[in-house]
Amino acid sequence: MIARTNGTPISITGLGCHVPERVLDNAELSTIVDTNDEWIVERTGIRERRIAAEDEALTDICLPAARRALEMAGADPASIDLLIVATVTPDMAFPSSSALIADTLGMPHAAAYDLSAGCTGFVYAIAQAHGMLSAGLAKRALVVGGDVLSTILDWTDRSTLVLFGDGAGAVVMEPVARGGFLGFELGADGGGGANLWLPGSGSRKFAEPEKYVKMNGREVFKFATRVMVSSAEAILGECGRTVADIDVYVPHQANVRIIDHAAKKLGIPQEKTVVNVEKYGNTSSGSIPLALADAADDGRLVPGKLVLLTGMGAGLTWGSALIEWTHPTTGAAA
């Protein structure tokens, strides 16, 4: 799917993020599996990640992020009439994590549901919220992206354990006078799904069900380097913009090598590229909103700036959004 937006401008008016307290650095990881700081930093750029406590589930991490986003937007929770939570690690299959969050925050008028699109979940969710808002089906939306991947990782598998972390981010979206989202490009290739999957986690029976994430890292790497570029080029073309117009590039934070490759191929300079993978690892659906919040902290998200978001992940899925920033956003750091 690719389209430029039309009709009422819709934008992000509030932004927040949250990560668990516990820091797991590469040195500690190398006491758990056969790895070392040098390998992890050289191959991924990751130095540390956050890990949820035993009693912390997805909604515990999403709630502080959501509260910050609402506060920044000056939005009463009761005014939210749409809540989408993008995740692959909900508290449980049902009720949805979004229904639980809506209840805790006091959103009696909100349609609330979870959305699963792997690490691209947040980009899919903001596109959905945009559609509902611009069609007039909702007036003010809260979109949360978050994951607690530490609960579905094999803590004996060094090839996946070192890559991922836990975290969440949230945005409030609503109609604005001008600017806001210019367009979206979203895609999926289920044929490549087995390169990053959790067979046995649903109704399909497998002879050898897995409890933990399985990944063919090299294939996902090839896929990632391809779609991070093609998706960004597609949305820029659709919206009549060029790479030179981009002020802030917020790529999915999976691996600094993937980010560097995409930025170089696209011709986006380092100073415009947001990178925080070194402190959080890959937080899946939390990755892009966490990076957005870091960009806000740095003072980079000011009204009038053109921001490109591009994600990719399980599905396999990918997606980009182009937004002209409209609202002053202050640091929303964890």
N- to C-terminal Cα separation, the chain = 33
- Token pair belonging to 295: 């960009």
- Does position 156 bind ligand UT7 by CB under 6 A? no
Annotated catalytic residue, options 26, 195, 276, 282: 282
Which one, 44 or 128, has the nearer CB to ligand UT7?
Answer: 44
Map residues 14-53 to x or -, x wherever contact with ligand UT7 holds by CB under 6 A. Answer: ---------------------x---x---xx---------
Q: Which residues of 106-133 are buried (b: 16+ CB within 10 A; e: fewer)?
A: ebeebbbbbbbbbbbbbbbbbbbbbebb
- Does position 255 bind ligand UT7 by CB under 6 A? yes
109 is catalytic: no
> Which of these ranges, 80-88, 157-165, 178-186, 265-273, lies near ligand UT7 under the rule CB under 6 A?
157-165
Map residues 235-254 to x or -, x wherever contact with ligand UT7 holds by CB under 6 A. Answer: -------------------x
Which one, 255 or 310, has the nearer CB to ligand UT7?
Answer: 255
DSSP letter for each residue of 16-79: EEE--SEEEEHHHHTTTSS--HHHHHHHH---EEEE--TT--HHHHHHHHHHHHHHHHT--GGG
> CB 330: neighbour CB atoms within 10 A?
11
- Does position 214 bind ligand UT7 by CB under 6 A? no
> Which of these ranges, 47-55, 217-225, 233-241, 264-272, lies near ligand UT7 under the rule CB under 6 A?
217-225
Q: Could you tell me which residues are beta bridge partners of residue 86?
A: 115, 145
The amino acid at 289: P
How many residues touch ligand UT7 (CB under 6 A)? 17
- Does position 212 bind ligand UT7 by CB under 6 A? no
Annotated catalytic residue, options 17, 62, 119, 239: 119
- Does position 89 bind ligand UT7 by CB under 6 A? no
Residue 308: HSE in the Cβ half-sphere, 13 Å Cα cutoff: 27
- Token pair belonging to 158: 């060094």
- Does position 152 bind ligand UT7 by CB under 6 A? no
Rounded CA-CA distance 33/31 in Å is 6
Which one, 10 or 117, has the nearer CB to ligand UT7?
Answer: 117
The crossing angle, in degrees rounded to 10, of helices 256-266 and 217-238 is: 30
Binding positions for ligand UT7, 174-203, rule CB under 6 A: none
Return the CA Rg of the chain.
18
252 is catalytic: yes
Rounded CA-CA distance 90/98 in Å is 9
239 is catalytic: no
- Does position 119 bind ligand UT7 by CB under 6 A? yes
> CB 274: neighbour CB atoms within 10 A?
24
- Does position 159 bind ligand UT7 by CB under 6 A? yes
> Which of these ranges, 5-13, 155-163, 178-186, 296-304, lies near ligand UT7 under the rule CB under 6 A?
155-163
Q: Which chain residues interact with ligand UT7 by CB under 6 A? A: 35, 39, 43-44, 119, 158-159, 162, 217-218, 220-221, 224, 254-255, 282, 313
Q: Which residues are catalytic?
A: 119, 252, 282
